[in-house]
A = this chain, B = another copy of it.
Amino acid sequence: MKGIKRLAQHLDISIGTVSRALNGKPDVNEETRRRVLDAAALLGYAPNQAGRSLRRGSTNAVGFMIESNDETETNSDNFFLGVIGGLTGALLKHNLDLVVLPCSVNEDPHDYLQRIVARRLVDAVIISATQRRDRRIDLLKAARIPFIALGRTGGPDEHAWIDLDFEGVAHKAVARLAALGHRQIAVAIPDNEINLGYVFRDAFEDAMAHHRLTVDPSHIIRARSSEHGGYTIGNALLAMEKRPTAIVLVYEMMAIGLYRRLNEAGLTPGRDLAVVGFREGPQSQFLSPALTSFRMSLRDLGIGLAEGLLATMPAYADQFPQGFVHKLWPMELVEGESDAMVIGR
């Protein structure tokens, strides 16, 4: 059994109703929807030209591209799972299913997305881990696939994006440390081409300048975005002749490795070195002393991304007339003990 026409015949319902039921349109009553889905699943319905045409080539699926690599696999980072939770619920209200598209570390993200786009697996895409120069943006624009980016790029932003408020985090962290008397403040950024490293470094330097503090070039530490990266940051700090009195981290998992390395050296965060983490994560509560970090709702970010994406999709533009969203996602300071020390002037 194939095709919407034969499915309609089998059910003795009009093709239009079957199509609307398959596509989850709200004008089909619940009982009919169930009958159609039951029959479609049991009889092995596959969309043919008629179905495709009625559905205007749509899949009713939205893709969320994430990069799967050794770091994310061992990091036990809950970031994407949290965002997915928000996305799924918000999209389901509009009868869209979220499919997560994990790009392997062995594949170029652009080539991966190109194949997904060519196969038309999804109607619209959310990309993440934006690079400074991100060719995926050009690809999606040329293919006219609606999309939103989680993260900015270094290029023009004539497209929808939402990014974390790295500027706000850098300014709040530096202001707090400067008020406690710190003058030698280091920053840890990723050692790859992800754009957030550039954004955070710029924001950090801007915040330091605002407080008339000088950034020592050796205090800009590049490391992997992982627990292990935090450990290597600890190594770098301990090896310095002129050690900073404070460090601001761009990635939450770094704090765990840094704590471990400091502990091994007999040093205590908040007493021997002030540490300001990034996003408050589930691990924070197990760190002692408590890490000063920044709170945000992953679920709300997922909802925000869903709504920003719907605004780029012609079929939903009426309901979401905001056009291209450009939004910095707020992060709220959570005071811990990891930067409690006061520096004498």
Binding site for B on A (CB under 8 A): 2, 22, 24, 36-38, 40-42, 44-49, 52, 57, 59-61, 63, 68-70, 72-78, 80-82, 84-85, 88-89, 92, 97-107, 114-121, 139, 142-144, 227, 256, 260, 281-283, 286, 298-299
Structural contact, B298 and A286, CB atoms closer than 8 A = no
Structural contact, A41 and B121, CB atoms closer than 8 A = no
Selected from B22, B70, B116, the residue in CB contact (under 8 A) with A119 is B22
Selected from B48, B72, B116, B286, the residue in CB contact (under 8 A) with A260 is B286
Structural contact, A100 and B97, CB atoms closer than 8 A = no
Q: How far is the CA of A63 from the CA of B59 in the complex (A)?
A: 14
A172 → chain B, closest Cβ, in Å?
24
Structural contact, B41 and A114, CB atoms closer than 8 A = yes
Identical copies in the complex = 2
Tell me which residues across on chain B come within 8 A of A286, comparing CB atoms: 256, 260, 283, 286
Given contact pairs A38-B114, A100-B99, A73 touches B63 in the complex (Cβ within 8 A):
no
Selected from B37, B114, B144, B260, the residue in CB contact (under 8 A) with A115 is B37
Selected from B42, B72, B89, B139, the residue in CB contact (under 8 A) with A143 is B42
Tell me which residues across on chain B come within 8 A of A68, comparing CB atoms: 81, 84-85, 88
Tell me which residues across on chain B come within 8 A of A52, comparing CB atoms: 46-49, 52
Structural contact, B73 and A89, CB atoms closer than 8 A = no
Given contact pairs A98-B102, A99-B100, A118-B45, A78 touches B82 in the complex (Cβ within 8 A):
no
Tell me which residues across on chain B come within 8 A of A37, comparing CB atoms: 114-115, 118
A85 → chain B, closest Cβ, in Å?
5
Tell me which residues across on chain B come within 8 A of A44, comparing CB atoms: 143-144
Structural contact, B120 and A47, CB atoms closer than 8 A = yes
- CB<8 Å pairs between A and B, sample of 20: A22-B118, A37-B114, A42-B142, A44-B143, A45-B120, A47-B57, A60-B119, A61-B121, A70-B85, A76-B76, A76-B283, A84-B102, A85-B102, A85-B104, A85-B105, A88-B103, A92-B107, A97-B116, A99-B100, A100-B102
Q: How far is the CA of A68 from the CA of B283 in the complex (A)?
A: 19
Selected from B73, B101, B116, B117, the residue in CB contact (under 8 A) with A82 is B73
Given contact pairs A88-B104, A99-B100, A114-B37, A72 touches B76 in the complex (Cβ within 8 A):
no
Tell me which residues across on chain B come within 8 A of A60, comparing CB atoms: 119
**Besides A46-B120, A76-B78, 5 new A-B residue pairs in contact (Cβ under 8 A), listed by A number:** A60-B119, A73-B85, A76-B81, A77-B78, A92-B107
Structural contact, A41 and B118, CB atoms closer than 8 A = yes
Q: How far is the CA of A298 from the CA of B76 in the complex (A)?
A: 12
Structural contact, B41 and A73, CB atoms closer than 8 A = no
In the complex formed, the residue of B with least CB distance to A87 is B102
In the complex formed, the residue of B with least CB distance to A82 is B73
Q: How far is the CA of A289 from the CA of B44 in the complex (A)?
A: 54
Q: How far is the CA of A49 from the CA of B51 in the complex (A)?
A: 10
Q: How far is the CA of A107 from the CA of B41 in the complex (A)?
A: 18
Tell me which residues across on chain B come within 8 A of A282, comparing CB atoms: 74-76, 227
Q: How far is the CA of A38 from the CA of B142 in the complex (A)?
A: 10
Structural contact, B89 and A106, CB atoms closer than 8 A = yes
Listed residue (A57, A81, A115, A286) with the most chain B CB atoms within 10 angstroms of its CB? A81
